[in-house]
Amino acid sequence: MQLTKNNKSGVSKGTGCLTIFGLVFLIAGLAVGFFALKNLAASLQASSWVETPAQVVSADLKVNHGDDSTTYKATGSFRYQFNGKTYTSGKLYFGFGSDNVGSFHQDLVNDMRRSQSRQQSMSAWVNPDNPSEAVLIKDVRWGLFGLMMLFPLLFGGVGAGIMWIAKRGKKKALEELELQSIYPEQPWMWRSEWHTSELLSNNKNLLWFSIGFAIFWNSISTPLLFILPHEVLDKNNYLALIGLLFPLVGIGLAAWAVRNYLQWKRFGESKLTLQELPARLGQTLRANLHIPAEIKESGECLVRVECIHKYTSGSGDNRSTREEIKWQDEQRLNINPASFNQTHDMPLVFKLPNNQPISDWSIPGSEHLWRLSAAVDLPGADYAASFEIPVFEPDDSQESGESDYEEQFFAEMLDDNANIDQGDWSRLNFTLDQNVHGRQYIFGRARLKSMCFGLSLMALIFGGVGIAMFVVENGSSFIGVGFSFFGLLLGWGALHQWLYRSAITVSHNKLISQSGWLNANTKEFTLADVKRLYKHSSMSSGNVKYYGIYIDTPDKRKIKLAENLVGNRDVDSLMHKIANEFGLDGALVY
């Protein structure tokens, strides 16, 4: 990983463009907010104006059809008398431009036309200090005002945020370049947060991000609550009900932000102290987790260490950032309330692999990072903390000292004083039975309830929306077909989770595998039929990596014995148990 001082000009140019981009958003948001406040001030000032009869001269409704919406603007004029003089005004209300918030414009034009056709007068409001100034509607359109005030909050906030990120990013990038020149052979020193072995959790950043994102999302989605009633009730556009999903997501994001706040209030900022800075591939990660608050309940602390590929794909509106778990190990460590004295220190020991990428952020949009996270389920606010840790190549000077690394690591696992989880096969969600063929491990249907319900709900949403669009548009909706097809794929995945079942029956020199929705796929193996027994992960959700257990045969067949198992060490424990009962050499278990 190499950064050079020649990047300084690039940093300045990049952040300069980003600052200008943010400034455009900021100015646009503030401009809309200015006009909203100007209209509000005019309406409030008109509260003292004089009510005067007026005759409608003309009334017209201008309709503007855009790509994805239709807006309206009431236009016309009226005549009135004040202090013996006759005036004509074309100002119907305080505001400008067209909109589709409610039916204000349509109702106003209908009232004006009705009065004109019946030769009836309407009430106008005249400025007594300037009688030539008058309006028909002096009231504040609170729905429109609220919508317009979201712009300075949303666009102005986004613009200010972009400018702050640009300024902070420039400062950090230039600081990193300076540190690189000081520590050319120590890339972990290029980041100021890694200058000491004491790392702070990401909880504070997560708290502010969740609050900001919840505000951002709800600022966008809340106006739909004002628009949807008109679309559905007045226009019978029932497909617009899909828009309710956005406020519902906003409620979920608000709940997420509240949860992060409660966690922060209860536990504050945790610290992780590394025994060695940085951690090294292929060696032992030893650290101490400091929990800055008392935990009064017994339980388990789930600690995960992950190597993650964080990458950005797509462009424009399709641009998105994802995280792919390349490697993961986890331990479940017992929490003993008696060991807490307002705070708690928890020693951690993990074996790091030697075949994964180092911490590397040199390629924009493609970053490799290492993360350690800890979580405890508790009454009220749960404990959760995560840390980005520096992991780099092995130090040549330590290779001899780590030559017996495997022996040292497993010796520590046997030490009663070491807080290390060796894995427990019984924690995996299965049923143990015995039949005439041997011991049977049964992985029943719908083992992962959250995945089953989640996929089912998504299938119903996408499928229902697709079918509704298809029906409403008389079978001519290409988007509806796409939604329906995606819903069908999700439905197939949901059915698989609900109905798939597998069982492994083991005795010495005999292994029977049964799998499928109806358990119809049965295979029988002897030791001679098994080349190796191993686990493989092809799926992750959030920070959970799911594993399957497989065997390879001498004729190069790959047979799946079980799927969707959670817990790297627990799966290893189960594989070694099965291998021991089967009589398989432990060297063939991966």
Q: What is the DSSP string of 98-166?
A: -B-STTHHHHHHHHHHHHHHTT--EEEEE-TTSTT-EESB-S--HHHHHHHHHHIIIIIHHHHHHHHHH
Quote the crossing angle between the two packed helices 203-221 and 245-267, to the nearest 10°: 160
Instruction: Write the pLDDT tens digit of every residue in 547-571.
Output: 999 999 999 999 999 999 998 899 9
* pLDDT (tens digit per residue) in 394-424: 876 554 444 444 445 444 444 444 556 778 8
* CA 194 – CA 171 distance, rounded (Å): 17
- Tokens 């046997």 correspond to 414
Buried b (16+ CB within 10 A) or exposed e, 196-220: eeebebbbeebbeebbeebbbbbbe
What integer best gives the mean pLDDT of the chain?
Answer: 86
Alpha-carbon span 544 to 448, nearest angstrom: 12
- Residue 583's closest CA among 527, 533, 504? 527
Q: Tell me how crowded residue 87 is: count the other CB atoms within 10 A of its CB.
A: 18
Beta strand spans in 336-390 (E): 344-351, 360-363, 366-376, 383-389
Span 451-457, average pLDDT:
92
User: How many Cβ atoms are within 10 Å of 47's Cβ, its own excluded?
Assistant: 10
- Position 231 scores a pLDDT of 66
> Is the alpha carbon torsion for 398, 326, 172, 267 positive or negative?
negative
Q: Answer whether 0.85 is exceeded by the pTM.
A: no
Higher pLDDT, 476 or 408: 476
Q: Residue 398: its pLDDT value, please?
A: 53
Confidence of residue 16 (pLDDT cuts 50, 70, 90): confident
Pairing outcome for strands 383-389 and 391-392: unpaired
Helix (H) or strand (E) holding 270: none
For residue 389, list its beta bridge partners: 370
Reported as a single tens digit per residue, the pLDDT across 483-541 is 888 899 999 999 999 999 999 999 999 999 999 998 778 999 999 999 999 999 878 88
